[in-house]
Structure 1
Amino acid sequence: FDTAGIRVSDDELEKEGILRSREALKNADLVLFVMDAESGFSHEIDSEIKNLNPNVSVLKVFNKIDIQDEKLNQIDFYISAKSGNGMIDLINGLKSVGLGEKIYTEKDILVSSLRHVNCLKNAKENLQKAINTLKSKLSAEFVASDIRAAENALLELIGEIAPDDILNDIFSKFCIGK
Protein backbone atom coordinates (compact mmCIF):
# COMPACT_ATOMS: atom_id res chain seq x y z
CA PHE A 1 0.00 0.00 0.00
CA ASP A 2 1.02 3.57 -0.54
CA THR A 3 0.09 4.98 2.86
CA ALA A 4 -0.05 8.39 4.47
CA GLY A 5 3.12 7.65 6.39
CA ILE A 6 3.79 7.84 10.10
CA ARG A 7 4.15 11.20 11.80
CA VAL A 8 2.51 13.42 14.41
CA SER A 9 -0.45 15.50 13.30
CA ASP A 10 -3.32 17.50 14.82
CA ASP A 11 -5.51 17.17 11.73
CA GLU A 12 -8.27 14.57 12.30
CA LEU A 13 -8.32 13.37 8.70
CA GLU A 14 -4.55 12.99 8.63
CA LYS A 15 -4.65 11.16 11.99
CA GLU A 16 -6.99 8.60 10.42
CA GLY A 17 -4.56 8.12 7.52
CA ILE A 18 -1.67 7.66 9.96
CA LEU A 19 -3.71 5.11 11.95
CA ARG A 20 -4.38 3.18 8.74
CA SER A 21 -0.66 3.33 7.91
CA ARG A 22 0.14 1.74 11.27
CA GLU A 23 -2.46 -0.99 10.70
CA ALA A 24 -1.11 -1.75 7.21
CA LEU A 25 2.42 -1.89 8.61
CA LYS A 26 1.46 -4.61 11.09
CA ASN A 27 0.65 -6.98 8.21
CA ALA A 28 3.30 -5.88 5.72
CA ASP A 29 5.98 -8.17 4.32
CA LEU A 30 8.07 -5.26 3.10
CA VAL A 31 8.23 -1.58 4.03
CA LEU A 32 9.69 0.98 1.71
CA PHE A 33 10.59 3.67 4.27
CA VAL A 34 11.01 6.79 2.10
CA MET A 35 12.45 9.87 3.78
CA ASP A 36 13.09 13.34 2.49
CA ALA A 37 16.88 13.74 2.49
CA GLU A 38 16.44 17.37 3.56
CA SER A 39 14.60 16.30 6.73
CA GLY A 40 17.12 13.61 7.60
CA PHE A 41 16.83 10.13 9.04
CA SER A 42 14.04 9.53 11.56
CA HIS A 43 15.15 7.17 14.32
CA GLU A 44 11.71 7.50 15.94
CA ILE A 45 9.83 6.25 12.88
CA ASP A 46 12.42 3.54 12.29
CA SER A 47 11.87 2.32 15.87
CA GLU A 48 8.09 2.47 15.50
CA ILE A 49 8.25 0.34 12.34
CA LYS A 50 10.32 -2.27 14.19
CA ASN A 51 7.93 -2.20 17.17
CA LEU A 52 4.78 -2.57 15.05
CA ASN A 53 6.18 -5.41 12.94
CA PRO A 54 9.49 -6.84 14.19
CA ASN A 55 9.78 -9.34 11.30
CA VAL A 56 9.17 -6.97 8.39
CA SER A 57 11.88 -6.29 5.81
CA VAL A 58 12.56 -2.55 5.65
CA LEU A 59 14.28 -0.77 2.79
CA LYS A 60 15.28 2.74 3.86
CA VAL A 61 15.26 5.23 1.00
CA PHE A 62 16.43 8.84 0.94
CA ASN A 63 14.64 10.91 -1.71
CA LYS A 64 15.69 14.31 -3.09
CA ILE A 65 19.38 13.44 -3.32
CA ASP A 66 19.64 16.07 -6.04
CA ILE A 67 19.09 18.67 -3.29
CA GLN A 68 20.83 16.98 -0.35
CA ASP A 69 23.54 14.39 -0.99
CA GLU A 70 24.42 13.37 2.58
CA LYS A 71 25.22 9.65 2.87
CA LEU A 72 24.27 7.74 6.01
CA ASN A 73 25.12 4.16 6.95
CA GLN A 74 21.54 3.28 7.87
CA ILE A 75 20.16 4.21 4.43
CA ASP A 76 19.81 1.46 1.81
CA PHE A 77 19.04 3.55 -1.29
CA TYR A 78 19.49 7.14 -2.40
CA ILE A 79 17.13 8.36 -5.10
CA SER A 80 15.81 11.41 -6.83
CA ALA A 81 12.19 10.87 -7.82
CA LYS A 82 12.47 14.06 -9.85
CA SER A 83 15.46 13.05 -12.00
CA GLY A 84 15.19 9.27 -11.68
CA ASN A 85 18.70 8.90 -10.25
CA GLY A 86 19.05 5.78 -8.13
CA MET A 87 15.75 4.27 -9.25
CA ILE A 88 17.36 1.31 -11.05
CA ASP A 89 19.24 0.39 -7.86
CA LEU A 90 16.02 0.66 -5.86
CA ILE A 91 14.12 -1.54 -8.33
CA ASN A 92 16.89 -4.14 -8.22
CA GLY A 93 16.82 -4.00 -4.42
CA LEU A 94 13.07 -4.59 -4.42
CA LYS A 95 13.52 -7.56 -6.75
CA SER A 96 16.24 -8.97 -4.53
CA VAL A 97 14.08 -8.69 -1.41
CA GLY A 98 11.05 -10.07 -3.23
CA LEU A 99 12.81 -13.05 -4.74
CA GLY A 100 15.45 -13.47 -2.06
CA GLU A 101 18.67 -15.29 -2.66
CA LYS A 102 16.92 -18.64 -3.10
CA ILE A 103 17.62 -20.70 -6.17
CA TYR A 104 14.35 -22.14 -7.40
CA THR A 105 14.08 -25.73 -8.62
CA GLU A 106 11.29 -27.67 -10.27
CA LYS A 107 10.14 -28.80 -6.79
CA ASP A 108 9.36 -25.15 -5.94
CA ILE A 109 7.06 -24.65 -8.90
CA LEU A 110 3.30 -24.77 -8.49
CA VAL A 111 1.42 -25.59 -11.68
CA SER A 112 -2.35 -25.38 -11.43
CA SER A 113 -3.38 -27.16 -14.63
CA LEU A 114 -2.82 -30.77 -15.63
CA ARG A 115 -2.40 -29.58 -19.22
CA HIS A 116 0.43 -27.28 -18.11
CA VAL A 117 2.07 -30.12 -16.18
CA ASN A 118 1.92 -32.32 -19.28
CA CYS A 119 3.39 -29.57 -21.46
CA LEU A 120 6.29 -29.10 -19.05
CA LYS A 121 6.91 -32.85 -18.81
CA ASN A 122 6.80 -33.15 -22.59
CA ALA A 123 9.28 -30.29 -23.00
CA LYS A 124 11.62 -31.79 -20.39
CA GLU A 125 11.47 -35.27 -21.98
CA ASN A 126 12.22 -33.88 -25.43
CA LEU A 127 15.13 -31.81 -24.14
CA GLN A 128 16.50 -34.92 -22.43
CA LYS A 129 16.13 -36.79 -25.75
CA ALA A 130 18.07 -34.01 -27.47
CA ILE A 131 20.87 -34.32 -24.89
CA ASN A 132 20.98 -38.09 -25.34
CA THR A 133 20.99 -37.70 -29.11
CA LEU A 134 23.94 -35.31 -28.87
CA LYS A 135 25.81 -37.72 -26.60
CA SER A 136 25.15 -40.52 -29.10
CA LYS A 137 26.69 -38.36 -31.83
CA LEU A 138 23.68 -38.87 -34.08
CA SER A 139 22.84 -36.52 -36.91
CA ALA A 140 21.94 -32.91 -36.12
CA GLU A 141 18.52 -33.44 -37.71
CA PHE A 142 17.57 -35.76 -34.83
CA VAL A 143 18.70 -33.20 -32.25
CA ALA A 144 16.78 -30.45 -34.05
CA SER A 145 13.66 -32.62 -34.11
CA ASP A 146 13.82 -33.19 -30.35
CA ILE A 147 14.43 -29.50 -29.65
CA ARG A 148 11.56 -28.54 -31.96
CA ALA A 149 9.25 -30.92 -30.07
CA ALA A 150 10.32 -29.33 -26.76
CA GLU A 151 9.74 -25.87 -28.22
CA ASN A 152 6.26 -26.85 -29.39
CA ALA A 153 5.41 -28.13 -25.91
CA LEU A 154 6.47 -24.79 -24.41
CA LEU A 155 4.59 -22.86 -27.09
CA GLU A 156 1.51 -24.91 -26.24
CA LEU A 157 2.05 -24.05 -22.56
CA ILE A 158 2.00 -20.30 -23.23
CA GLY A 159 -0.85 -20.53 -25.71
CA GLU A 160 1.05 -19.90 -28.92
CA ILE A 161 0.07 -23.32 -30.28
CA ALA A 162 -3.38 -24.75 -29.69
CA PRO A 163 -3.61 -28.45 -30.58
CA ASP A 164 -6.88 -29.71 -31.99
CA ASP A 165 -7.90 -31.46 -28.76
CA ILE A 166 -7.60 -28.18 -26.83
CA LEU A 167 -9.65 -26.34 -29.44
CA ASN A 168 -12.26 -29.12 -29.40
CA ASP A 169 -12.42 -28.94 -25.59
CA ILE A 170 -12.84 -25.16 -25.64
CA PHE A 171 -15.53 -25.17 -28.33
CA SER A 172 -17.40 -28.11 -26.77
CA LYS A 173 -18.29 -25.77 -23.90
CA PHE A 174 -19.94 -23.23 -26.20
CA CYS A 175 -23.38 -23.46 -27.67
CA ILE A 176 -23.24 -22.16 -31.21
CA GLY A 177 -26.69 -20.79 -32.04
CA LYS A 178 -28.86 -21.33 -35.05
Structure 2
Amino acid sequence: MATIIQQPVPAPVIPIMKKQGVIIKRFKSVKAFETLLFKFLKRNNVLHLSTGRNNVVRSTPLEYRLVERTFYILSEGGGKFANLAVNRRVCFSIAEPYHPREDFWSYKGVQVWGTATVYSSKENPRQFNAALKKMRIFDSLKSLGIKELSPAFNYRIIAITPDIIKYVNPREGVFRVTWKRRG
Protein backbone atom coordinates (compact mmCIF):
# COMPACT_ATOMS: atom_id res chain seq x y z
CA MET A 1 0.00 0.00 0.00
CA ALA A 2 1.12 3.52 -0.73
CA THR A 3 -0.04 7.11 -0.81
CA ILE A 4 0.79 9.94 -3.19
CA ILE A 5 1.21 13.67 -2.68
CA GLN A 6 1.00 15.86 -5.75
CA GLN A 7 2.50 19.34 -5.57
CA PRO A 8 0.54 21.97 -7.49
CA VAL A 9 2.14 23.63 -10.48
CA PRO A 10 2.94 27.28 -9.62
CA ALA A 11 0.21 29.47 -11.14
CA PRO A 12 2.58 31.61 -13.29
CA VAL A 13 4.03 28.45 -14.88
CA ILE A 14 0.70 26.91 -15.99
CA PRO A 15 0.14 29.15 -19.07
CA ILE A 16 3.77 28.66 -20.16
CA MET A 17 3.38 24.89 -19.93
CA LYS A 18 0.05 24.93 -21.79
CA LYS A 19 1.51 27.08 -24.57
CA GLN A 20 4.22 24.45 -25.06
CA GLY A 21 1.78 21.52 -24.98
CA VAL A 22 2.49 20.34 -21.44
CA ILE A 23 -0.62 19.21 -19.59
CA ILE A 24 -0.07 18.11 -15.99
CA LYS A 25 -2.26 15.25 -14.78
CA ARG A 26 -4.11 15.17 -11.47
CA PHE A 27 -3.89 11.56 -10.39
CA LYS A 28 -7.18 10.25 -9.02
CA SER A 29 -5.61 7.11 -7.59
CA VAL A 30 -2.29 5.72 -6.40
CA LYS A 31 -2.60 2.95 -8.99
CA ALA A 32 -2.89 5.44 -11.87
CA PHE A 33 0.29 7.17 -10.72
CA GLU A 34 2.12 3.89 -10.09
CA THR A 35 1.42 2.80 -13.67
CA LEU A 36 3.43 5.76 -15.01
CA LEU A 37 6.06 5.59 -12.27
CA PHE A 38 6.87 1.90 -12.69
CA LYS A 39 6.84 2.22 -16.49
CA PHE A 40 9.63 4.80 -16.10
CA LEU A 41 11.55 2.64 -13.60
CA LYS A 42 11.32 -0.44 -15.84
CA ARG A 43 12.54 1.32 -18.98
CA ASN A 44 15.73 2.36 -17.21
CA ASN A 45 18.47 0.24 -15.64
CA VAL A 46 21.10 2.53 -14.08
CA LEU A 47 20.80 4.32 -10.76
CA HIS A 48 23.24 6.45 -8.76
CA LEU A 49 23.33 4.99 -5.25
CA SER A 50 24.32 7.25 -2.35
CA THR A 51 25.51 5.67 0.89
CA GLY A 52 27.15 7.28 3.89
CA ARG A 53 28.79 6.96 7.27
CA ASN A 54 30.67 9.34 9.58
CA ASN A 55 29.55 12.37 7.53
CA VAL A 56 31.19 10.97 4.38
CA VAL A 57 28.86 10.25 1.47
CA ARG A 58 29.64 8.43 -1.75
CA SER A 59 27.61 8.00 -4.92
CA THR A 60 28.05 5.05 -7.27
CA PRO A 61 26.42 4.41 -10.67
CA LEU A 62 25.08 0.83 -10.72
CA GLU A 63 22.89 -1.37 -12.88
CA TYR A 64 19.64 -2.39 -11.20
CA ARG A 65 16.82 -4.83 -11.74
CA LEU A 66 13.36 -3.92 -10.50
CA VAL A 67 11.36 -6.91 -9.30
CA GLU A 68 7.91 -6.04 -7.99
CA ARG A 69 8.76 -3.07 -5.74
CA THR A 70 12.33 -3.96 -4.81
CA PHE A 71 15.46 -2.69 -6.54
CA TYR A 72 18.19 -5.35 -6.82
CA ILE A 73 21.85 -4.60 -7.54
CA LEU A 74 24.59 -7.18 -8.11
CA SER A 75 28.02 -5.80 -7.18
CA GLU A 76 31.47 -7.19 -6.47
CA GLY A 77 32.72 -4.66 -3.98
CA GLY A 78 33.53 -1.08 -3.14
CA GLY A 79 33.16 1.43 -0.34
CA LYS A 80 29.37 1.28 -0.50
CA PHE A 81 29.46 -2.04 1.38
CA ALA A 82 31.49 -0.55 4.24
CA ASN A 83 28.90 2.23 4.45
CA LEU A 84 25.96 -0.19 4.30
CA ALA A 85 27.43 -2.25 7.14
CA VAL A 86 26.82 0.69 9.50
CA ASN A 87 24.01 2.61 7.76
CA ARG A 88 21.34 0.80 5.74
CA ARG A 89 19.50 4.03 4.80
CA VAL A 90 20.18 4.94 1.18
CA CYS A 91 19.15 7.40 -1.49
CA PHE A 92 19.46 7.07 -5.24
CA SER A 93 18.44 8.85 -8.40
CA ILE A 94 17.53 7.72 -11.89
CA ALA A 95 17.33 10.21 -14.75
CA GLU A 96 17.05 10.12 -18.51
CA PRO A 97 19.09 12.36 -20.83
CA TYR A 98 17.91 15.96 -20.84
CA HIS A 99 18.24 18.35 -23.77
CA PRO A 100 16.70 21.66 -22.64
CA ARG A 101 17.46 23.48 -25.90
CA GLU A 102 15.33 20.95 -27.77
CA ASP A 103 12.54 20.68 -25.18
CA PHE A 104 12.76 22.46 -21.85
CA TRP A 105 9.98 20.29 -20.37
CA SER A 106 11.58 16.95 -21.28
CA TYR A 107 13.41 16.44 -17.97
CA LYS A 108 12.45 13.25 -16.18
CA GLY A 109 13.73 11.42 -13.19
CA VAL A 110 13.21 10.04 -9.73
CA GLN A 111 14.83 10.40 -6.37
CA VAL A 112 14.33 7.45 -4.04
CA TRP A 113 14.88 7.02 -0.30
CA GLY A 114 14.85 3.56 1.20
CA THR A 115 16.44 0.80 3.21
CA ALA A 116 19.07 -1.58 1.83
CA THR A 117 19.71 -5.19 2.73
CA VAL A 118 22.92 -6.91 1.60
CA TYR A 119 23.03 -10.60 0.69
CA SER A 120 26.21 -12.58 0.06
CA SER A 121 26.78 -16.17 -1.02
CA LYS A 122 28.88 -16.70 2.12
CA GLU A 123 26.78 -15.04 4.83
CA ASN A 124 23.23 -15.69 3.62
CA PRO A 125 23.40 -18.05 0.61
CA ARG A 126 19.67 -18.87 0.56
CA GLN A 127 18.62 -15.21 0.24
CA PHE A 128 21.52 -14.51 -2.16
CA ASN A 129 20.47 -17.32 -4.52
CA ALA A 130 16.79 -16.38 -4.28
CA ALA A 131 17.67 -12.79 -5.26
CA LEU A 132 19.81 -14.03 -8.18
CA LYS A 133 16.79 -15.97 -9.44
CA LYS A 134 14.48 -12.97 -9.09
CA MET A 135 17.01 -10.87 -10.98
CA ARG A 136 17.32 -13.52 -13.73
CA ILE A 137 21.09 -13.13 -13.61
CA PHE A 138 21.74 -16.61 -14.99
CA ASP A 139 19.52 -15.91 -18.01
CA SER A 140 21.69 -12.87 -18.73
CA LEU A 141 24.92 -14.83 -18.26
CA LYS A 142 23.66 -17.67 -20.45
CA SER A 143 22.94 -15.25 -23.31
CA LEU A 144 26.62 -14.24 -23.09
CA GLY A 145 27.84 -17.83 -23.07
CA ILE A 146 28.80 -17.67 -19.37
CA LYS A 147 27.71 -20.48 -17.06
CA GLU A 148 28.37 -19.00 -13.61
CA LEU A 149 29.46 -15.91 -11.71
CA SER A 150 33.23 -15.70 -11.53
CA PRO A 151 34.51 -17.07 -8.20
CA ALA A 152 37.30 -14.47 -8.38
CA PHE A 153 34.86 -11.83 -7.09
CA ASN A 154 33.00 -11.59 -3.80
CA TYR A 155 29.62 -10.84 -5.33
CA ARG A 156 26.89 -9.40 -3.15
CA ILE A 157 23.37 -8.27 -3.82
CA ILE A 158 21.91 -5.05 -2.50
CA ALA A 159 18.12 -5.18 -2.20
CA ILE A 160 16.52 -1.78 -1.68
CA THR A 161 12.98 -1.33 -0.41
CA PRO A 162 11.81 2.18 -1.32
CA ASP A 163 10.05 4.27 1.31
CA ILE A 164 9.70 7.50 -0.69
CA ILE A 165 9.93 8.10 -4.44
CA LYS A 166 9.73 11.60 -5.93
CA TYR A 167 9.00 11.62 -9.66
CA VAL A 168 8.99 14.43 -12.19
CA ASN A 169 8.27 14.11 -15.91
CA PRO A 170 6.33 17.13 -17.22
CA ARG A 171 6.17 15.95 -20.83
CA GLU A 172 4.24 12.86 -19.67
CA GLY A 173 2.07 14.89 -17.27
CA VAL A 174 3.93 14.32 -13.99
CA PHE A 175 4.94 17.34 -11.91
CA ARG A 176 6.50 16.79 -8.47
CA VAL A 177 4.58 13.74 -7.31
CA THR A 178 5.75 11.93 -4.18
CA TRP A 179 4.96 8.24 -3.60
CA LYS A 180 5.17 7.01 0.01
CA ARG A 181 5.08 3.40 1.10
CA ARG A 182 2.72 2.70 3.98
CA GLY A 183 3.72 0.47 6.87
TM-score normalized by the length of structure 2:
0.22
Larger RCO (CA under 8 A, 6+ residues apart): 2
**Bigger radius of gyration, 1 or 2?**
1
Q: Greater share of helix residues, 1 or 2? A: 1
TM-score normalized by the length of structure 1:
0.22
Q: Greater share of strand residues, 1 or 2? A: 2
